[in-house]
Amino acid sequence: MSTQTVTAKGLKNVEKDSVFKDTMKRMLKNKLAVIGLVIITIQILLAAFAPFLTSYAPDTQTLSARELPIGSEGHWLGTDNYGRDMWSRIVYGARISILVGLGSVALGLIGGVILGLLSGYYKKLDAIIMRIMDLLFSFPGILLAMLIIAILGTSLVNVVIAISIWSIPNCARIVRGSVLSAKKEEYILAQRSLGASDRRIMFKHILPNITAPIIVFATMRMATAILSTSALSYLGLGAQPPTPEWGAMIAAGQDYMWTSPHMTIVPGIAIMLVVFAFNVVGDGLRDALDPNMELD
Amino acid sequence: MYEKLLFLLVAIPILLLAACTGGSESQPEGGNAEGNEGGGSGSADQTLTYASTSDAPGLSPIDTNDSVSSHVIEQVYETLFKRNAETGEIEPLLAKSYENPDDNTWVIKLKEDIKFHDGTPFNAEAVKYTFETFLDPERAAPRASLLAPVESIEVKDEYTVVIKTNKPYGAMLAALSHSNASIVSPEADKSGNLNENPVGTGPFKFVSWEKGNEIVLEKNADYWQGEPTLNQVTFKVVPSVSTAISMMETGEVDFIDGVTSQHTSRLEGNGSINLIKKEGTPVYYMGFNMEKEPMNNPEFRKALAHAIDRDAYVESLNGLGVRSNSFVGPQVFGYDESAEDLGYSYDPEKAKQIIEENGFGDQTYHMLVANRDMYINMAEIAQAQLSEVGINVEMEMIEWGTFLDMTAEGNFDLTFLGWSNVTGDGSELLYPNLHTDNLGSSNRTRYSNKEFDELVVKSRTTTDQEKRKEYLAEANALAIKDAPWVPMHHGVVTAAVVDSVKGLELSPTGSWRLYKVSRE
């Protein structure tokens, strides 16, 4: 018995490695996805090493050096209306955007995966859970998030919660669909006939087999989460000043569009690049993880 | 895949653009918009379009209390007295003269042969009717407090009215020159709704109001001071200031007011727009919640006052603010120059020292900020400067209505507020904002000082204007020393008009009259 388990584990590892390698190989063939990966890597590096990459704190004001244009001495991206260094604010903003994205997607996944598994696995729960999800679906996403923030109050943490609640129904529906097809597979039948518990079947056997759509969903969702955070902050519902959140920076800069357009354009480009990157990487992953696609 | 990409390529710039709408909204085609031709003096179309960011709640002086309504009210109605925009002196308008037989009696003679727009004659009965309606508890006029000390209004003869007060009321003339104390046509008020259909004696008559869009006035050809030059005036609602400025550039709007510092350089850079600036009566301040620890400690307030570099702050307003240590501003009655030597100047080292000695830096303070550009600006600068001396502040930004409730309840440590002071009288600043009587309502910082209270009451109940000035200066000095506020700046009232608009007079309270305005 014990020897068998060992071999099974060994086999699994071999399989895992090769899946990862295959996926990477396929990904690298997709030029757009590679560009996306590079952008994401840069963002992660900026976020991680923010203090080493900047010479000013993001909220240090120099009222005598307000609205310096791009290319000014000491401030290569210029300064904003309080004389804060734009480069510092963008770099620290990268940190916020990645944390908020990861946080809300992770929370949304936990909720969505559990609900999706339950709903796909237990027929009785299915109707109830899916109707609740339909209820959440009936609100336009950003409105739902605004409603949740109106209840919880404005702060970045509440934005994370709001966006994660908004991702739950999407995630649950994707997971449920995959569970429905996976539970008909013979290896599940085999587990069941061996007397495995429902929990074991769900988390040990079904879940690992449906990771591909979840990974794709999570990656694409990062883009939505980052964009929504910016949108909510732009509307004044998210990050509070002086937090260097990109959406809030656009909102603050729009009154200065005529005199200092860089205050809106720079964070705008940052948001655009990151959202673009997560979308193309998600797309690339979808293609790469598709077992039907040929690896020539 | 490619579809998706295409979608992305299209969607992202659109989102980006949407994020920047403020100014980039589609600009209507310019060209020969109304009255924007300039040049030929006789041929100029005598119309004017004014834009404000919100619509007027109503057009009755009795039933409103806000600046948007008052801009319209001041063209349609008139008051008994008026503050001269240049000298700041109060002069008779509908009144001819007044006298005080004793401290509690005001005998006001009225000008004769003036008619309301509906033909009703203007006389002592109209004044009596207006003020009695104004004070009627059932009507619940929002600004009834202006005439609170008034006990009775009597008609002595057709053009003489006698107002009796229950105690001497020093700010009577200032109150009577307030736009909310405008005289209304009794007939029009009895038979209709003044809020919807205003009838006054002013140079312009009401024509139409399309709610949320525009109010149209036309000239009153029978105006008692002579016909105004402008034929028609339109008050347009344009929610975004940037859009309103774009509309000025294309000739759709001729006049805006309340310009904030972020728009000045754009306006000043435009050769065909005149930016009018004038030192005004508003005061903007950082307020402490005097009922809470450690804000009730004078050392704490002193340290924070020393920590804020108000010179740099006022400098950053691009000329739209005046630096003064005084609570009663330089343009307000009761100001005395000696106040500039009082107060606490910028001295971060001293601030740090006080904060360290008292351990003020150990906690985080709750800074409540109204969601309006000017206050957010003050708060961001103050927060950064306070953090430099070791005071940690957490900023909460909320919507205006909620903000007023929360500050009235005392739900804050630090906050930012302003007082525009429409009467331009120091009593009308110190009494509502700092007197013990108004704790929990308009006294939001909860300052209470017996000696100060007495001086303010004296300034209100004395009719000798010189004495009043002395009391106000003394009260002001006391409050500056106690520092329930750190005065951030005193307002500069602004208006921007296109070149062809001539003769606009802007008063220090931010109000304006269009009677003498013409187009060239």
Q: What is the pLDDT of residue B24?
A: 34
Residues of A in Cβ contact (< 8 Å) with B348: none
d(CA B380, CA A80): 12
d(CA B324, CA B319): 14
- Picking from B3, B6, B10, B16 by the largest number of A CB atoms within 10 A of its own CB, the best residue to mutate is B16
Residues of A in Cβ contact (< 8 Å) with B242: 254-255, 257
What is the full DSSP assignment across B373-429? HHHHHHHHHHHHHHHHTT-EEEEEEE-HHHHHHHHHHT--SEEEEEE--TT-BTHHH
Per-residue pLDDT for A8 more than 70?
no
**Position with higher pLDDT, A121 vs B374:** A121
Per-residue pLDDT for A296 more than 90?
no
Judge whether A115 lies within some domain.
yes
- Picking from A234, A258, A259, A269 by the largest number of B CB atoms within 10 A of its own CB, the best residue to mutate is A258
Per-residue pLDDT for A215 more than 80?
yes
**Position with higher pLDDT, A8 vs B140:** B140
pLDDT in tens, A267-279: 999 999 999 999 9
**Contact between chains at B8 and A254 (C-beta distance less than 8 A):** no
Assess A283–B contact: CB distance below 8 Å, yes or no: yes
d(CA B434, CA A253): 36
Q: What is the pLDDT of residue A139?
A: 85
**Contact between chains at A255 and B312 (C-beta distance less than 8 A):** no
d(CA A161, CA A290): 31
Exposed/middle/buried for residue A138 (C-beta within 10 Å: 0-12, 13-18, 19+): exposed
Report chain A's mean pLDDT, rounded to a whole number.
88
Q: What is the pLDDT of residue B19?
A: 45
Q: What is the pLDDT of residue B439?
A: 85
Q: What is the pLDDT of residue A293?
A: 59
Q: What is the pLDDT of residue B122?
A: 95
Please tell me which of the candidates B16, B19, B22 has its beta carbon nearest to residue A255: B22
Q: For chains A and B, count residue pairs whose Cβ atoms are closer than 8 Å.
A: 94
Judge whether A293 lies within some domain.
no
| Structure ipTM | 0.70
Report residue A97's pLDDT band, with 50, 70 and 90 as the boundaries: very high
What value does the mean pLDDT take over residues A104-132? Answer: 93
Distance from the Cα of B20 to chain A's closest Cα (Å) equals 6
Instruction: State the SS3 of B142-198.
Output: CCHHHHCCEEEEEEEECCEEEEEECCCCCCHHHHHCCHHHCECCHHHHHHCCCCCCC
Looking at residue B6, its amino acid is L
Judge whether A41 lies within some domain.
yes
Per-residue pLDDT for A56 more than 60?
yes
For residue B38, count other CB atoms closer than 10 A to its CB.
15
**Contact between chains at B5 and A231 (C-beta distance less than 8 A):** no
Element (H or E) spanning B348, and its range? helix B348-358
Per-residue pLDDT for A174 more than 60?
yes
Q: What is the pLDDT of residue A164?
A: 93
Exposed/middle/buried for residue B389 (C-beta within 10 Å: 0-12, 13-18, 19+): buried
Judge whether A81 lies within some domain.
yes
Sign of CA dihedral B179, B183, B186, B187: negative
Residues spanned by the domain of A172: 27-54+77-288
Q: Which residues pair with B153 in a beta bridge?
A: B163
Please tell me which of the candidates A236, A254, A255 has its beta carbon nearest to residue B371: A236
Element (H or E) spanning B4, and its range? helix B2-19
**Contact between chains at B22 and A240 (C-beta distance less than 8 A):** no
What is the full DSSP assignment across B436-481? GGGBTTTBTT----HHHHHHHHHHHH---HHHHHHHHHHHHHHHHH
**Percent of chain A predicted with pLDDT > 70:** 92
Distance from the Cα of A261 to chain B's closest Cα (Å) equals 10
Judge whether A9 lies within some domain.
no
| pLDDT per residue rounded down to tens, chain B (520 residues) | 455 545 545 544 454 444 444 333 333 333 333 333 333 344 578 999 999 888 888 999 999 888 788 999 999 999 999 988 778 788 999 999 999 999 899 999 999 999 999 999 999 999 999 999 999 989 888 888 889 899 999 999 999 999 999 988 888 998 999 999 999 999 999 999 999 999 999 999 999 999 989 999 999 999 999 999 999 999 999 988 888 999 999 999 999 998 888 888 888 888 899 999 999 999 999 999 999 989 999 999 999 999 999 999 999 888 899 999 999 999 899 999 999 988 899 999 999 999 999 999 999 999 999 877 788 889 999 999 999 999 999 888 887 778 888 888 899 999 999 888 878 889 989 998 999 988 877 889 999 999 999 999 999 888 888 999 999 999 999 999 999 999 999 999 999 999 999 999 888 888 899 999 999 8
Number of domains comprising chain A: 1
Among candidate residues B206, B247, B306, the one with its CA nearest the CA of residue B49: B247
Judge whether A7 lies within some domain.
no
CATH number at residue A148: 1.10.3720.10
Q: What is the pLDDT of residue B160?
A: 95
Among A187-191, A228-232, B56-60, B238-242, the minimum mean pLDDT is found in: B238-242
Per-residue pLDDT for A14 more than 60?
no
Q: What is the pLDDT of residue B385?
A: 93
- Picking from A224, A228, A249, A257 by the largest number of B CB atoms within 10 A of its own CB, the best residue to mutate is A257
What value does the mean pLDDT take over residues A221-234? Answer: 92
Per-residue pLDDT for A184 more than 60?
yes
Report residue A48's pLDDT band, with 50, 70 and 90 as the boundaries: very high
